[in-house]
Amino acid sequence: MASLTSALGERACFEKDPENLVQRATESLGYYAGAFGRYREAKILGPLPGIQGILTLASTYENTGISLQGLHKGFQKAGSLPVLHLCFDGHEDENDTVRIETFLHYLEKKNSPGLFFRNMMQKEGSRS
């Protein structure tokens, strides 16, 4: 994993220093364990260059996803990336689509306010 991370450089999705994952997991979750919960939470708490927001998906019936969603709120720090937690049960849910669109809209507005304003103006102009 380390040699692959080195070869991919900034495009690598792997942790440059796996010990940092262990440290972040312990600091945020203590001894919590289950279904890669420690990895999943530690990964989104670490440095993620080029990432503007995180979308997590879990089965409605997966206890780890539900637990992490609740625990995450307790250790978000100022300046941390926005996270949208979604659960699914195999049925299409219009609310999930709206939540994703709203989240993407928020990220666009937050990260490119000038671009967001220009896009809104273009949309308004095309409605006339």
Pull the structure tokens for residue 101: 């669109």
- The pLDDT tens digits of the residues spanning 6-15 come to 787 777 777 7
Distances (CA, A) of 40 to 59, 69, 122, 124, 127: 14, 11, 39, 40, 43
What mean pLDDT is predicted for residues 51-66? Answer: 81
- SS3 state at 57: strand
Task: Please give the DSSP secondary-structure letter assigned to residue 35.
Answer: T
Give the C-alpha separation, 35 to 33, whole Å.
7
Per-residue pLDDT for 58 more than 80?
A: yes
Give the C-alpha separation, 61 to 34, whole Å.
14
Backbone angles phi, psi at 56, to 5 degrees: -105, 140
104 vs 60 pLDDT, higher one:
104
Ordered by start, the domain boundaries in the chain are 2-91
The torsion defined by the Cα of 11, 66, 74 and 39, in degrees rounded to 10, comes to -40
- The pLDDT tens digits of the residues spanning 18-33 come to 788 888 888 888 888 7
